[in-house]
Amino acid sequence: MADERQRQLMQEALDQSLAPELLEKLRQQLDSDPQGSQQFNRLKRVDDMLRNAPHERAPARLALGIMAKLAQTMNPRQLNSSSSAAVALGLAMVVMVALPVLTVAISLFLSAMGSAAALNAILQQIANLLALVVGLLDALVEGAQSVLKSYPQAPLLILSVTPIILYWLLKAIEGDKDNEEKGG
């Protein structure tokens, strides 16, 4: 069975960041250790599978679909309430921030499954990142509450303008893709 140092060397070899002399030392160790060799082969298969896995992008109209669904589920009395509109806007922002963070966190988690030390370090980084996101959201909520006190109509205005902004962003992205296809 591979010890912690050997597992670390295996991870570095898979990441192609291992010095040549250490790579040769690892190969010699694995030649004399059938269990360690099997473990390295399993890690290599998982690494190859993850590297060759297709990467899917979320559909470009996902944000518009979410906003449309939110608008369908809200009744007119709720739309007149500025606090409900602020909650809907906050929820949309949380989803927009959390989705990329969760994608990165899952990717890091899968890449560190072979090493307890690396997994521990990644989980600490994820916790720090989530604490940062919570702090940013807290500051955003405080700012929104301040704006709401001064301008009670601001949440409805922002909520009504958000689909238009998202539509313009999607058009800009589609325009960039068209330009890349014509140029490439």
Residues 150-164 have pLDDT tens digits of: 777 777 777 777 788
Number of H helices, E strands in the chain: 8, 0
Distance between alpha carbon 96 and the CA centroid of its chain, in Å?
10
User: Hey, CA dihedral for 28, 33, 36, 40, is it positive or negative?
Assistant: positive
Query: d(Cα 110, Cα 16) in Å, to the nearest integer?
Result: 17
The predicted-structure confidence for 117-132, as pLDDT tens digits, reads as follows 666 777 788 778 878 8
Query: d(Cα 62, Cα 80) in Å, to the nearest integer?
Result: 26
Instruction: Give the contacts of 152 (CB within 8 A, at least 6 positions apart).
Output: 82
Query: d(Cα 163, Cα 68) in Å, to the nearest integer?
Result: 9
Query: d(Cα 175, Cα 112) in Å, to the nearest integer?
Result: 38
Residue type present at position 80? N
pLDDT at position 21: 92
pLDDT at position 77: 55
Residue identified by tokens 């979410």 is 66
In contact, 70 and 79? CB cutoff 8 Å = no
Domain definitions of the chain by residue range: 4-52, 62-183
pLDDT at position 47: 84
- What's the chain's Rg over C-alpha atoms? 24
- The DSSP 8-state label assigned to residue 74 in this structure reads S
Low-confidence ranges of the chain (pLDDT < 70): 1-2, 56-60, 62-63, 71, 74-87, 108-119, 181, 183-184
